[in-house]
Structure 1
Amino acid sequence: MIDLAKRVHDHTWKIDPVVRSLLDTDFYKLLMAQTVQKRHADVQVTFSLINRSKDVPLAKLIDEGELREQLDHVRTLRLSRGEVTWLRGNTFYGKQRMFTPEFIEWFEAFRMPPYHLERVEDQYELTFEGPWPDVMLWEVPALAILMELRSRAVLRHMGKLDLQVLYARAMTRVWEKIQALSALPNLRISDFGTRRRHGFLWQDWCVQAMIEGLGDRFTGTSNCLIALRREVEAIGTNAHELPMVYAALAEDDRALASSPYRVLENWQKDYDGNLLIILPDTYGSEVFLRRAPAWMSTWTGIRIDSGDPATGAENAIAWWKSNGQDPRGKLVIFSDGLDVDKITELYARFDGRVKLGFGWGTLLTNDFRGFAPDDGLKPFSLVCKAISANGSPTVKLSDNVAKAMGPDAEIARYKRVFNMETQQEAELIV
């Protein structure tokens, strides 16, 4: 394994670009890009960086020139021959040829589109505009760049011994978490930490620790490049981006109300098996399940990504039962703000009642809380979301109002259409 403290001290990571491959992204982005490129290649979408943690002044911490240098580097990346071979020939979710020849051909020729960067007071406005399948692939690398440059800015002022102690403490923390989780015999857990990681090398170290500490209970990583290099499963399905853009393209309220289900109708045409995972919370999980067609209950499972996770799982179990399905054969994936205590609590409550999966993100790959001066490495909430499609604004309501986004008038309209009278507000961990 790499001596991270020495590498940071000796080189200040100049030999390490933040993003070193087009595959240094999450698997779900490639799955979604394939279906979007096939069905909606002409839709014009704008993505924008959104810093939910206003107390983290990114423009004061990160040099604009350094940020541009990293963004420009991503625009030079091309798939290597070995990466193309992996995409074309690897088995994903038990299926060969997950990616069509048409998509592979498109991706081989792909180049990241231009970006627009502007400093506004102590924050950066970073946007990407263009055809949906092109600009959507900026989301993960853009977030990874901002997160890692913030880490580098803090670490740059630390001495060699400070860095050695910092990484020793961080490694010990991760290993103690893994040892605690190893007590759960039926655990199935994946790394979901690409977007808000401390850095690529640290995420790679965390994956190696998970492999060694959990064995086959570690089911894989969302990061395609690390999955390739460490020969583990690439994990991921779909995200809020699809229903948000479909909803923005809806011509009237009736089409808006049906848009989340049209997303999954198309998804079912393109994928099957364990990729048939419902993400219900974009416009309220309770309403989504109440209105969902019965055929959707035959899908493999549900991912819980906002709101109270236990309540979300109980609602899913009740919904499956009401549709004549046995919840014990269904998969519930928890993926919102997880750490050891929450994973253990949910495991104790639902093990044996459903098949369990955990997507462990920021608090696996970026938990340096208390290790840097002024707690300068604590995790913060940074997202990059589609904010418009063909000129119409996007909206996300979520099961947690702290994650909601969109113009006020459109939010009010969506709440009416989706019959969301109240929203809970929970602590926004990341």
Structure 2
Amino acid sequence: MKQYNYPIIKTLLDTDAYKLHMQQAVFYNYSKVNVVAEFICRGPNILGCYSNILLDQINMMTSLSLSDKEYIYMTSFPFFRKEYLHWLKRFRYNITQVQIKNKNGQLNIRISGLWKEVILWEVPILSLISEIFHKNSNPDITSDIAVQYLDYKLKKFFQKTKNLDLSRLKIIDFGTRRRFSYDVQYLIVKRLKQKFPFLIGSSNYHISRILKILPVGTQAHEWFQAHQQISSNLKNSQILALSTWLNQYKNHLSIALTDCINMDSFLRDFNLFFSKSYQGIRHDSGDPIKWGEKALKHYEKLGIDPNTKTLLFSDNLNFKKIISIYKKFNNRTNVIFGIGTQLTCDIPNVKPLNIVIKLVKCNGRPVAKLSDSPGKMFCLDKNFIKSLYHAFKLPFNNKI
């Protein structure tokens, strides 16, 4: 088994943008809120053997801090506030918040503490698990092989789209959490910047800084999940989440995630005020074409020109899917594509891990993600799922 005597995660900014954006919103609005998050493997969990290596790497993360250059870089963005950035400069990962166990060969992880601190653990832990697993499972795979395969895919992409107007195509790297390795992600994004004019940014703040591209991201499911217990009324939890975000960021970072409950429930809460105020919405589960049609119908029903809004697609995309969705919607609205695992862990003979870390509790009470894809639903408390279905007037399946 490959051993490491060096840190894989070398900077606090080697994380997804939405984590820092959510962290700031939590810092100002919910600084005393406590949460619990757990690791989920949506496939065979044979990862327990890596628990000691993972724990060593997490221990190394406790020395990370925002450098002076990184701090100055962060001050260049108009939506970050000085008080938060001063706090972030003093922030250190707290190892006592993370419990890691090898339980009969399965990897168990539970993270608990103040939300404003716990929020930064997810992305680096997942990327560590992915890199440790893949480097041990595929010792002969090099970064050069990954880049060569990207070149092959880009050649096919340009061949298939030579008669297609791509002037409105925009693609973002969303590949940090389940990348083959940091080196692969960095070199993939670097090659895209060189050869692919449709790349507009990366979700990774560190890579964006080094390569001088735009860091992109707004909020994740945990933002809506936590509000299920922050809100005094469960049925209004999405409304509170959307309102708090708008109050925090005004005209910045205004792409809303739609599937913490499901698209239909989201649209019922996404009223005229929200629909006008938010730049657009993000798809992360369910049929992307059906979702897009619902979105456009919703905007048109409210008298909003869909061409003034943005649909961001981010669910398990590859270049083939992107072409199909782009053809369907590019002349009807603005479309952006966030491509993750199929970009940074798409290598011949390599099977990516399907791993996530999700909130399971907020302030000691259960939270849930329902989603538009049944396989993505997660909650530790069946009674709370029933309450959620009732609050949002969804038909409850007793088999859940």
- The TM-score normalised by the length of structure 2 is 0.92
**What CA distance in whole angstroms lies between the structure 2 residues aligned with 1:148 and 1:408?**
34
Report the residue type matching 1:325 in the other structure: I
* Cα deviation digits, residues 290-337 of structure 1 (max 9, x gap): 243210111211101111011111100000001110001110000000
Partner residue, 2:199: 218
**What CA distance in whole angstroms lies between the structure 1 residues aligned with 2:362 and 2:395?**
26
Report the residue type matching 1:124 in the other structure: L
- 1:173 paired with 2:156, answer no
Q: CA deviation at 1:277?
A: 1.1
* Cα deviation digits, residues 59-85 of structure 1 (max 9, x gap): 13x2x3211110101111111111111
Partner residue, 1:69: 56
1:319 equivalent among 290, 293, 298: 298
- Gaps of at least 5 residues in structure 1 are 1-11, 371-376, 424-430
Partner residue, 1:106: 87
- Gaps of at least 5 residues in structure 2 are none
Partner residue, 1:284: 262
**What CA distance in whole angstroms lies between the structure 2 residues aligned with 1:315 and 1:419?**
19
**What CA distance in whole angstroms lies between the structure 2 residues aligned with 1:272 and 1:181?**
37
Which secondary structure state, in structure 2, belongs to the residue aligned with residue 220 of structure 1? strand
Q: Aligned runs of 1:252-331 on 2, under 5 Å?
A: 255-273=233-251, 275-298=253-276, 299-331=278-310
Q: Aligned runs of 1:26-425 on 2, under 5 Å?
A: 26-53=16-43, 55-60=44-49, 62=50, 64-88=51-75, 90-91=76-77, 96=78, 98-113=79-94, 114=96, 115-156=98-139, 158=140, 163=141, 167-182=143-158, 183=161, 184-215=166-197, 217-251=198-232, 255-273=233-251, 275-298=253-276, 299-370=278-349, 377-406=350-379, 407-421=381-395
Report the residue type matching 1:31 in the other structure: H
Moved segments of 4+, more than 6 Å: none
Identity between Structure 1 and Structure 2 (%): 31
Which secondary structure state, in structure 2, belongs to the residue aligned with residue 275 of structure 1? coil
Q: CA deviation at 1:341?
A: 1.0
Q: CA deviation at 1:249?
A: 3.0
**Would the aligned equivalents of 1:179 and 1:213 in 2 still touch at CA under 8 Å?**
no
**What CA distance in whole angstroms lies between the structure 2 residues aligned with 1:67 and 1:281?**
31
Report the residue type matching 1:36 in the other structure: V
Partner residue, 1:6: none
**What CA distance in whole angstroms lies between the structure 1 residues aligned with 2:11 and 2:266?**
37
Report the residue type matching 2:68 in the other structure: R
Partner residue, 1:428: none
**Would the aligned equivalents of 1:18 and 1:144 in 2 still touch at CA under 8 Å?**
no
**Would the aligned equivalents of 2:231 and 2:240 in 1 still touch at CA under 8 Å?**
no
Number of aligned residue pairs? 386
- The TM-score normalised by the length of structure 1 is 0.86
Report the residue type matching 1:178 in the other structure: L
Moved more, 411-420 or 323-332: 411-420
Q: CA deviation at 1:169?
A: 4.3
Q: CA deviation at 1:15?
A: 6.4
* Cα deviation digits, residues 197-250 of structure 1 (max 9, x gap): 0111100001011101113x2101000110111111001011111110010234
Partner residue, 1:9: none
Report the residue type matching 1:278 in the other structure: A
C-alpha RMSD over aligned residues: 1.7
**Would the aligned equivalents of 1:180 and 1:340 in 2 still touch at CA under 8 Å?**
no
**What CA distance in whole angstroms lies between the structure 2 residues aligned with 1:389 and 1:169?**
43
**What CA distance in whole angstroms lies between the structure 2 residues aligned with 1:282 and 1:242?**
9
**Would the aligned equivalents of 1:248 and 1:395 in 2 still touch at CA under 8 Å?**
no
Q: 1:248 to 1:181 in 2, by over 3 A?
A: farther
**What CA distance in whole angstroms lies between the structure 2 residues aligned with 1:144 and 1:239?**
17
Q: CA deviation at 1:13?
A: 8.1
